[in-house]
A and B are shown apart, each in its own frame.
Chain A
Amino acid sequence: GENVEQHPSTLSVQEGDSAVIKCTYSDSASNYFPWYKQELGKRPQLIIDIRSNVGEKKDQRIAVTLNKTAKHFSLHITETQPEDSAVYFCAVSAGGGADGLTFGKGTHLIIQP
């Protein structure tokens, strides 16, 4: 089955700096790559997603890049703010149909004031 590796597990950055979280996956047929943000005690919230026919997508301070050849994708957050502190999960769809999402283990992002 699909395997998703996410790094780093914890990331501490100064407020205003950029943060980058990387994920690799194993199934070359995977075609959907969402990122979720989960604050303590709350539900995962979709923050951005990308599909396999696109290499990069941006939404204000958040961007995702996808390299299908290397089977990895990354989340980029610029000008980080205290409210960006949360756990971020990457996910991959297993290749079509009604497959569930396979998640990475998560990255705890800490924004230092």
Chain B
Amino acid sequence: KAGVTQTPRYLIKTRGQQVTLSCSPISGHRSVSWYQQTPGQGLQFLFEYFSETQRNKGNFPGRFSGRQFSNSRSEMNVSTLELGDSALYLCASSLDGLAGVDTQYFGPGTRLTVL
């Protein structure tokens, strides 16, 4: 099976702009989670989607949002970009997203730089 894919791989934006990142899960996986990775804060959970519904959300401002389509592909949007949003954004897919049951497999990430 093909692994988790993310597009684009690299992105440069300026403060105040918005950005949309895309994630295609492993075939058959219905849960997609998003994480932000920075040198200072490490890997932090953003949110998780299952069957087009957000089931859980981490501690990020409302500028961070997402959605999931009927084919399980997911998009993440960040509005009004700030310098601190520069990070590697990773998505991970799993079968059902049930903690304690499912393994999460990560995509290669999208490197976002905000100037």
Q: Which residues of A contact B (CB under 8 A)?
A: 1, 31-32, 34, 36, 42-46, 49, 51-52, 89, 91, 93-106
| CA–CA, A51 and B107, complex, Å | 23
> With A and B bound together, what is the CA distance between A45 and B46 in angstroms?
19
B56 touches A100 (CB 8 A): yes
Query: In the complex the two chains form, is A44's CB within 8 Å of B90's CB?
Result: yes
State the main secondary structure of chain B at its contact with A: strand
Q: CB of B17 within 8 A of chain A?
A: no
The 5 lowest CB-CB distance pairs between A and B, nearest first, are A100-B45, A93-B99, A98-B55, A103-B43, A31-B100
Closest to A46 in B: B103
Q: Looking at chain A's contact residues, is the secondary structure mostly helix, strand, loop, or mixed?
A: loop
Nearest-CB distance from B35 to chain A (Å)?
7
Q: What band does the interface of chain B fall in when counting residues whose beta carbon is under 8 Å from A?
A: 20 to 34
Q: Does B64 contact A (CB under 8 A)?
A: no
Chain A, Cβ-Cβ closest to B109:
A43
Q: Could you say which of B33, B43, B100, B105 contacts A32, with CB atoms under 8 Å apart?
A: B100
23 A-B Cβ contacts within 8 A?
Answer: A32-B99, A34-B103, A42-B108, A43-B4, A44-B43, A46-B104, A49-B103, A51-B100, A52-B100, A89-B43, A93-B99, A93-B100, A94-B99, A95-B99, A96-B99, A98-B56, A98-B98, A99-B48, A100-B46, A100-B58, A101-B33, A101-B35, A103-B42
